């Protein structure tokens, strides 16, 4: 029976990277699992029993669900070779054509399966469904993407199921540093069901900023909670290349040669997935 790990990137402050990190790490864990099972680099393998990862989209803005729906529509139109529909869809977001060619290649060659995603409405029945999934052992990892506010009814209950809670924080932003400390004093009063690990994760990290070290020390001393070792660098690419829910962003695929390599923008995402995997 699988032992599901429940992971949340959570912080009430908006725009700290909860959704971005959730999507990237969820797919990265699956991709790393595929690579680890590959015996030689030349020989891709088809994974029969892939790592199963679920993202519960709890944010009523449902950003992950909206994106996933669009992406699935494009995939389906491509699969049925419904060219009119496909062209119509990619006209709105031309960059998705490349992503889907990549998705297709990973799917047919590596047995790629991206994370599952379920939208959780603020209703008792929807939250109940989420709890059943959390307790079902059907998944290796479940991520919950929460909104940046406490206002949403019912969903607070889901937070109590967090086992690994990571609080994204931009160490270069005095607002984020203050928010991190405030948030932690609130969250420590919460009685979680089974919390294993709580940590800050530096996101949008600027290597050359002199504030980083001082702010990290300040937060760690004030809260007695550490930062994860991995710092996720500030990366313009995250914005310009668009978020996707269907493709592991650490893979760079040359569509002509079908050679894959590591996307150098994603070094800290690869590292962060490894660090999270290694936590007991």
Would you tell me which residues interact with ligand ATP (CB under 6 A)? 14-20, 59, 147-148, 203-204, 232, 234-235, 238-239
Query: Which position's Cβ is nearest Mg ion?
Result: 19
Residue 16 contact partner, candidates ligand ATP, Mg ion, none, CB within 5 to 8 A by sort of partner? ligand ATP
Q: What DSSP letter does each residue of 89-137 carry, written as one string? A: HHHH-THHHHHHHHHHHHHHHH-----EEEE--SSHHHHHHHHHHHHTT
Q: Which is nearer to ligand ATP, 148 or 156 (CB)?
A: 148
Q: Which is nearer to ligand ATP, 10 or 139 (CB)?
A: 10
Nearest approach, Cβ of 9 to ligand ATP (angstroms)?
Answer: 8
Residue 117 contact partner, candidates ligand ATP, Mg ion, none, CB within 5 to 8 A by sort of partner? none
Residue 230 contact partner, candidates ligand ATP, Mg ion, none, CB within 5 to 8 A by sort of partner? none
Residue 204 contact partner, candidates ligand ATP, Mg ion, none, CB within 5 to 8 A by sort of partner? ligand ATP
Question: What residue has token string 């940046």?
Answer: 148
Q: Which is nearer to Mg ion, 51 or 130 (CB)?
A: 130
Residue 231 as a binder of Mg ion (CB under 5 A): the answer is: no
Nearest approach, Cβ of 206 to ligand ATP (angstroms)?
Answer: 10
DSSP letter at 264? Answer: G
How many whole angstroms separate alpha carbon 194 and alpha carbon 162?
A: 7
Q: Which is nearer to ligand ATP, 203 or 250 (CB)?
A: 203
Could you write out the three-class secondary structure of 146-204? CCCCCCCCCCHHHHCCCCEEEEEECCCCHHHHHHHHHHHHHHCCCCCCCCCEEEEEECC
Nearest approach, Cβ of 262 to Mg ion (angstroms)?
Answer: 26
Whole-number Cα distances in Å, 80 to 30, 76, 95, 200: 26, 6, 20, 44
| 98 contact partners, CB below 8 Å, separation of at least 6 | 255
Residue 27 contact partner, candidates ligand ATP, Mg ion, none, CB within 5 to 8 A by sort of partner? none
Nearest approach, Cβ of 238 to ligand ATP (angstroms)?
Answer: 4
Phi, psi torsion values for 135, nearest 5 degrees: -90, 0
Q: Which is nearer to Mg ion, 44 or 147 (CB)?
A: 147
Q: Which two tokens stand for residue 261?
A: 């390599």
Nearest approach, Cβ of 64 to Mg ion (angstroms)?
Answer: 8
In the list 4, 11, 19, 215, the residue contacting Mg ion (rule: CB under 5 A) is 19
Q: Quick check: 165 and 197 in contact, CB under 8 A?
A: yes
Q: Quick check: 8 and 165 in contact, CB under 8 A?
A: yes
Q: Which two tokens stand for residue 244?
A: 């996707």
In the list 5, 13, 18, 102, the residue contacting Mg ion (rule: CB under 5 A) is 18
Q: Of 10-18, 33-41, 65-73, 250-258, which part binds Mg ion (CB under 5 A)?
A: 10-18
Query: Which position's Cβ is nearest ligand ATP?
Result: 148
Binding site for Mg ion (CB under 5 A): 18-19
């Amino acid at each position: 029976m699988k032992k599901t790990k429940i992971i949340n990137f959570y912080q009430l402050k908006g725009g700290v990277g909860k959704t971005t990190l959730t999507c990237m790490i969820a797919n990265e864990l699956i991709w790393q699992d595929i690579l680890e099972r590959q015996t030689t680099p030349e020989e891709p393998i088809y994974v029969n029993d892939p790592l199963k990862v679920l993202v519960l989209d709890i944010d009523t803005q449902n950003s992950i669900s909206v994106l996933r729906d669009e992406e699935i529509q494009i995939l389906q139109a491509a699969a049925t070779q419904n060219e009119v529909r496909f062209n119509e869809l990619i006209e709105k977001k031309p960059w998705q054509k490349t992503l889907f060619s990549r998705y297709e290649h990973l799917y047919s060659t590596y047995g790629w399966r991206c994370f599952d995603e379920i939208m959780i409405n603020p209703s008792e029945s929807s939250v109940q469904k989420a709890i059943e999934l959390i307790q079902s052992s059907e998944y290796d990892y479940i991520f919950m993407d929460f909104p940046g506010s406490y206002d949403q009814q019912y969903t607070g209950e889901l937070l109590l199921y967090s086992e690994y809670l990571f609080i994204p924080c931009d160490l270069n932003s005095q607002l984020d540093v203050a928010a991190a400390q405030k948030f932690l004093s609130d969250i420590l009063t919460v009685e979680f069901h089974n919390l294993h690990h709580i940590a800050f994760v530096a996101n949008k990290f600027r290597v050359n900023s002199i504030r980083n070290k001082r702010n990290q020390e300040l937060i760690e001393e004030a809260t007695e909670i550490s930062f994860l070792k991995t710092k996720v660098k500030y990366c313009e690419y995250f914005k310009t290349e668009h978020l996707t829910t269907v493709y592991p962003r650490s893979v760079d695929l040359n569509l002509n040669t079908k050679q894959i390599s590591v996307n150098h923008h994603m070094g800290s995402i690869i590292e962060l997935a490894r660090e999270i995997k290694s936590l007991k």
